[in-house]
Amino acid sequence: MTFSHQMITQAAIDSFAGTDNPRLKLLMQSLVKHLHAFAEETQLTEAEWMAGIQFLTATGHTCDDVRQEFILLSDTLGLSMLLVAMHDGAKQGATEATVLGPFHTHDAPPMENGADITNGAPGQPLLVTGRVLSADGVPLAHAMVDVWQADAEGLYDVQRGELQSERRARGLITTDAQGHFSFWTVLPEAYPVPTDGPVGQMLLNTGRHPWRPAHIHFFVTADGYQPLITHIFREGDRYLNSDVVFGVRPSLVGDFQSHAQGKAPDGRDMQQPYWSLEYEFSLQKK
Ligand SMILES: [Fe+2]
């Protein structure tokens, strides 16, 4: 870096010297410092930066009420997962967290423990059972288990235009007095993140695949405990080692078991083969 370059960078950093909020000041000064270092290191051209501005503009224009292309950008650059991991490190004995992703909604329908949340989503039946515990092993009654997932076609309900307001393979279940929860849903399949926008174009231009290994999302909350945002992944999925958003942790790979038709563990008479998954979630005290 030449002396005059250093003066430009320092002047831009110093321009935030009067910021009242010390955290905002730190964030802005560090952002400028690293952006300038990026430009110097890569010898960024003006044409390349204009292409970058056009990319960011297109990313913003692709966002709407149910599509968040900037979250997808953050996810595919690994930034979302880095932040999760940075703030998940101090837990002891609690289930590991992973990315929220862009498909969580705040209107998952409340369901009875043991209910079927499928509501017409295509896929093989799957019985999910488990418990919510404190990190030191005490069962947590009345914990809320918010669940959402893609179906056999790799789609979330909110991605189906005709179903904008309908909720499928999504539900809110409350644990019983012993911390148990269970529900019927469909077996999740691997799916590509949306590739019809600028982030998909970035993946294509850089030779990256857009796939996420099959998973079910969980957002588990209980009074007095830190909320847990995580997924359970399907063991054996071909994309477990190359998740496009870097969300896989070995402790979050679940043992999905296949069964022939017959009586399921919850007594339901299954006329077709089905799957089961059992998993215990542990929450860290606040
Ligand atoms: Fe997902």
89 within domain boundaries:
yes
Structural domain total, the chain: 2
232 pLDDT higher than 80:
yes
Residues 171 and 31 in one domain: no
Residues 194 and 254 in one domain: yes
pLDDT band at 208 (very low <50, low <70, confident <90, very high): very high
54 within domain boundaries:
no
144 pLDDT higher than 80:
yes
Residues 268 and 165 in one domain: yes
What integer is the mean pLDDT of 259-281?
95
Cβ contact 281:269 at 8 Å? no
C-alpha of residue 143 to centroid of ligand 1, in Å: 22
C-alpha of residue 270 to centroid of ligand 1, in Å: 27
Which pLDDT does position 224 carry in this prediction?
Answer: 96
Residues 92 and 12 in one domain: no
C-alpha of residue 81 to centroid of ligand 1, in Å: 13
Which pLDDT does position 164 carry in this prediction?
Answer: 63
Cβ contact 133:179 at 8 Å? yes
Residues 125 and 38 in one domain: no
Cβ contact 183:173 at 8 Å? yes
Residues 28 and 111 in one domain: no
Residues 188 and 271 in one domain: yes
C-alpha of residue 269 to centroid of ligand 1, in Å: 30
Cβ contact 115:171 at 8 Å? yes
What integer is the mean pLDDT of 81-98?
87
What integer is the mean pLDDT of 35-61?
98
Which pLDDT does position 89 carry in this prediction?
Answer: 67
Which pLDDT does position 160 carry in this prediction?
Answer: 81
Render pLDDT for 147-200 as a digit per residue (tens, 0 to 9).
999 999 999 988 887 656 688 999 999 999 999 999 999 999 999 999 999 999
What distance in Å separates the CA atoms of residue 179 and residue 140, rounded to the nearest whole number?
A: 5
Mean confidence (pLDDT) of the chain: 94
What distance in Å separates the CA atoms of residue 42 and residue 55, rounded to the nearest whole number?
A: 18
Cα radius of gyration (the chain): 22
Cβ neighbours around 61 below 10 Å, total: 11
Residues 122 and 225 in one domain: yes
67 within domain boundaries:
no
52 within domain boundaries:
no
Taking CA 242 as the corner, what is the angle to CA 238 and CA 198, rounded to the nearest 5 degrees?
115
The CATH number of residue 113's host domain is: 2.60.130.10
Which pLDDT does position 163 carry in this prediction?
Answer: 58
pLDDT band at 90 (very low <50, low <70, confident <90, very high): low
C-alpha of residue 227 to centroid of ligand 1, in Å: 18
Around ion ligand 1, residues with a beta carbon closer than 5 Å are 101
What distance in Å separates the CA atoms of residue 2 and residue 240, rounded to the nearest whole number?
A: 45
C-alpha of residue 135 to centroid of ligand 1, in Å: 25
183 within domain boundaries:
yes
Percent of the chain with pLDDT over 70: 97
1 pLDDT higher than 80:
no
C-alpha of residue 18 to centroid of ligand 1, in Å: 42
Which pLDDT does position 3 carry in this prediction?
Answer: 77
Residues 40 and 133 in one domain: no
C-alpha of residue 45 to centroid of ligand 1, in Å: 36
C-alpha of residue 216 to centroid of ligand 1, in Å: 7
DSSP conformation class of 193: P
Render pLDDT for 3-34 as a digit per residue (tens, 0 to 9).
799 999 999 999 999 999 999 999 999 999 99
What distance in Å separates the CA atoms of residue 246 and residue 79, rounded to the nearest whole number?
A: 9
Domain extent for 250: 79-283
pLDDT band at 283 (very low <50, low <70, confident <90, very high): very high
Which pLDDT does position 281 carry in this prediction?
Answer: 97
Residues 40 and 171 in one domain: no
pLDDT band at 66 (very low <50, low <70, confident <90, very high): confident
Which pLDDT does position 166 carry in this prediction?
Answer: 81
C-alpha of residue 41 to centroid of ligand 1, in Å: 35
217 pLDDT higher than 70:
yes
| Terminal alpha carbon distance of the chain | 47
